[in-house]
Structures are given as C-alpha cells and as structure tokens.
Structure 1
Amino acid sequence: MTTATTVRAYHQARFRGDLPTAAAQLGPGFTFRSPLVTSDSPTGHLDGLDGLLSIVTDVEMISELYGEDEATLVYDVHTASPVGTQRTAEHFRLTDGRITSILLIFDASPWHAIMAAAGLGGRQG
C-alpha cells in the first residue's frame, strides 16, 4: 500500500467511527500527540472518539501532501458545538507502510471550556 492509501484509509475510518479499520493502519511503536491527548497506544488515542464524532457534522479536506514515508493533511472539522469549525493539520510518519506517529495540530483553546464543563481534562492513553 502507498502512503496515501494508508493515511486516507485511517482518516476516513476514524471519521466514520470504524475503530478496527483505523487501528489496523497503525504500526508498532505508534505515538500520538495533540494539544489535548497524548498516547503511546495504537488504540489509546481512539478512546473517546465517539464523543467527538457525536458533534462532528462534516470534515472538509483542504490539502493532502504525501511523501514516501510521511503525509500531512489539512482539513476543517465542522462541529455542532460552540467551537464551530476547527481548522486542523495532521502530520503522519510511516514505517513499512503503517502509521507510526501522528502529530495533530489545532488551536485547543476553544475546547478547554467544553472539556471543563464535561469534567474532562487532557487524556493520556
């Protein structure tokens, strides 16, 4: 599989809520970093995805950049929440055709009040 095939499969599965397919794209030694969640578990970063997906109304791809063993996606996540639309960049590293790290970049400040009201803090999983 190519980098584009693997990353697209992960991205689409994640936003469909298809956790087994998303997790199947992840390789050994996987790490995930975002402003709100840090995980060294291939599935730990997907925990709680149902909560996010319950407020996502659309995902609009802006740009996809692919290299041999890395990719960057830039997209807008439209939500039915006070956050509204969240501009997001996501950088992937791959080893042997599987995703070994994801760095998710976005302005987390609008999410802090929502997470505090829900009794949630940043997660490590």
Structure 2
Amino acid sequence: MTALETSLAFHRAWMAGDIDTALQHVAPDVVCDAPAGRITGIAEFRAFIEPFSRLLTGSHLHGAFGDDTTSVLFYDTATRPVPHAPGAEHHTVTDGRITHVRIVFDRVPFEAARAAAR
C-alpha cells in the first residue's frame, strides 16, 4: 500500500467507528500531535480517537494527497454536539503503518457545545 492508501484505509475505518480495523494501519509506537498535546503509543491513540468516533454522525472527505511516505487528508465531520467540524491530518507512513499523525481541527465549536450543555 502507498502512504495515501494506508491513510485512507485508516480514515474510512475510523470514520465508520471501526477502531480495531483503523488501528491495523497504525504502528504500535505511533506519535500523534493534536491540539490537546502529544499522544504516544497505540493505547493512548485509541483512547484519543475512540470517544470521538462514538460522537460521529457523518463525515465528508474533501481531499487526500500523498507520496511515498506521507499523506494529507482534509475532511469535515458531523457529530452530535457539533454539526460541522473541519479537520486535517498529516500522516507519516513507514512499512505500511502510520507512525506519526498531526491533527488540526477547530476546538472552539466543541468547547462552546460543552459550555451550552452545562
């Protein structure tokens, strides 16, 4: 698989809520840099992505680009608390597994939804 194919397989499974399949495309020692900080290892990464997958009601992939070792995905998600949440990910892929993830998304709508729920 190319880096882009690996990332797309991960993304499709994650957005469908199939975390076990998604993590088959992730290295055990993955490093993820997200707005909340650095996450290391597959157990911490699972704990980070799994709760979000349970909130998802839909997603739309706007674009995906890659080369031999990296890929970039740009997408929108719809969740129960926030109907429109754009995000982007940059993946580094080594030997068919994602080894580094950098996630960019706007946390403000999620913080506003949490504050409104109080």
SS at match of 2:110: helix
Structure-to-structure mapping, 1:1-125, within 5 angstroms: 1-36=1-36, 38-47=38-47, 49-81=49-81, 83-115=82-114
Flag the 1:49–1:99 CA change in 2: closer, same or farther, 3 A. closer
Opposite residue 19 of structure 2, the aligned amino acid is: L
Given that 2:2 and 2:67 are in contact with CA atoms closer than 8 Å, whether structure 1 keeps it comes out as no
| Cα deviation digits, residues 92-113 of structure 1 (max 9, x gap) | 0011221001111011122224
Scaled by the length of structure 1, what TM-score is found? 0.80
Identity of aligned residues (%): 29
- 1:115 deviation in Å? 4.9
* Structure 1 alignment gaps of length 5 or more: 119-125
Q: Which TM-score applies when normalising by structure 2?
A: 0.84
CA–CA distance in structure 2, aligned partners of residues 55 and 30 of structure 1:
23
Structure 1 segments, 4+ long, off by >6 Å, are none
Offset of residue 5 of structure 1: 2.0
Distance in 2 separating the partners of 1:102 and 1:116: 28
Distance of aligned partners of 1:89 and 1:48 in 2 relative to their CA distance in 1, 3 Å threshold: closer
Question: Where does the alignment leave 5 or more consecutive residues of structure 2 unmatched?
Answer: none
Q: Measure how far apart 1:32 and its partner are.
A: 0.9
Q: Is contact 1:30-1:99 (8 Å) kept?
A: yes
Q: Distance in 2 between matches of 1:37 and 1:53?
A: 19
Q: What's the secondary structure of 1:17's corresponding residue?
A: coil
Rate the CA distance shift 1:32–1:115 in 2: closer, same or farther, 3 A: farther
Which letter does structure 2 place at the counterpart of 1:108? R
Question: In structure 1, how many angstroms separate the alpha carbons of the residues matched to 2:21 and 2:34?
Answer: 21
